[in-house]
Structure 1
């Protein structure tokens, strides 16, 4: 049995702050955000549904939104459960296949018995994996678009919302303290 020697300078133990932030990011980025987006998309589809005249616009939109959110939440949760169980990478499409198959089987069994479980598991595995594959291919283009310095999202200089550096923040605090002192002294003079 061969032993592998490691250079102690190359070993980087994770800091507590990085492990805490990395454990919350998959929850937000890989489960919560897709579930919320699916709910919004479901609500939008409910707005144009042909059933809105029969059931009412708000009822059908809420139904579509909740169904889309439930399906997406179950799929994303199952995919993340599989990823953690396999100790795999977030970009591994096998996690999507297994998670889609499992979540589709559970939701299909609840909805349509054994036949529904088989049908839903195949549909969830195929559609979920296709969506994850498309997201993987689009992620570099989206990140390249949002990282540009001359992005459309940059606030103009005249905007009242500004991001302050340390010097500007210190000057702002000094002005606020000066105003507070002036107002406080003015109140003392009025009370005399």
Structure 2
């Protein structure tokens, strides 16, 4: 049996597991963790300018806003990704945002304000979450282009004393430093 005579079941059983392991870690970080952390930072900034900071204290109100923003963003992003995986859809599909926003808003609204709150929160999360995702999709190419241009103008000239060294240059530099160190210690031994 050559390598061409593989069982199709074996091929299918190996391929999805190896690709799913790499695809599970990246979306989790990029599409759930990073927005949650950014929302927490934004919540802390809102707490810094809140009118309640004088009454409750700056640190307490900032922490409260930061945790609330992070909880809302984490629930929304998690629900959106759950819907994406359930529907086996693309990450850029806005229907995932609508369904995820509706579900997470309903759950958080029910916990916060009862049945009426569940309806209000679900509509609000669906609209705001989908609008933010749509804006992110439209802005992402511009940000990518800006960062690509930023790298091109940030290169140091050849005459600059600050240089980025590759592995070979680092090894040569260390060898020179060790040679200088040995020469200096040999001179100290000869003088004494």
Q: TM-score range by the shorter chain?
A: 0.7 to 0.9
Q: Distance in 2 between matches of 1:138 and 1:37?
A: 16
Partner in structure 1 of residue 149 of structure 2? 148
The count of residues paired between Structure 1 and Structure 2 equals 174
Q: Distance in 1 between matches of 2:86 and 2:176?
A: 55
- CA gap 1:121/1:156 in 2 versus in 1, 3 angstroms: same
Structure 1 segments unaligned to the other structure (5+ residues): 1-12
Q: Deviations over 1:119-156 (max 9, x none)?
A: 1000000000000000000000000000115556x364
SS in 1 for 2:50: coil
Q: Distance in 1 between matches of 2:58 and 2:90?
A: 42
Partner in structure 1 of residue 31 of structure 2? 30
* 1:77 partnered with 2:78: yes
Partner in structure 1 of residue 88 of structure 2? 87
Q: Deviations over 1:14-54 (max 9, x none)?
A: 894x6544321111111111111111111111111011111
Q: Distance in 2 between matches of 1:159 and 1:110?
A: 60
Hey, which bits of structure 1, 4+ residues long, moved more than 6 A? none
Q: Distance in 1 between matches of 2:161 and 2:137?
A: 35
Partner in structure 2 of residue 116 of structure 1? 117
- CA gap 1:49/1:148 in 2 versus in 1, 3 angstroms: same
Structure-2-length-normalised TM-score? 0.78
1:168 CA displacement: 1.4
Q: Distance in 2 between matches of 1:51 and 1:119?
A: 25
Partner in structure 1 of residue 97 of structure 2? 96
User: Over aligned residues, Cα RMSD in angstroms?
Assistant: 2.9
- CA gap 1:19/1:170 in 2 versus in 1, 3 angstroms: farther
Which residues of 2 match residues 140-179 of structure 1 at below 5 A? 140-148=141-149, 154=154, 156=156, 158=160, 162-175=163-176, 178=179
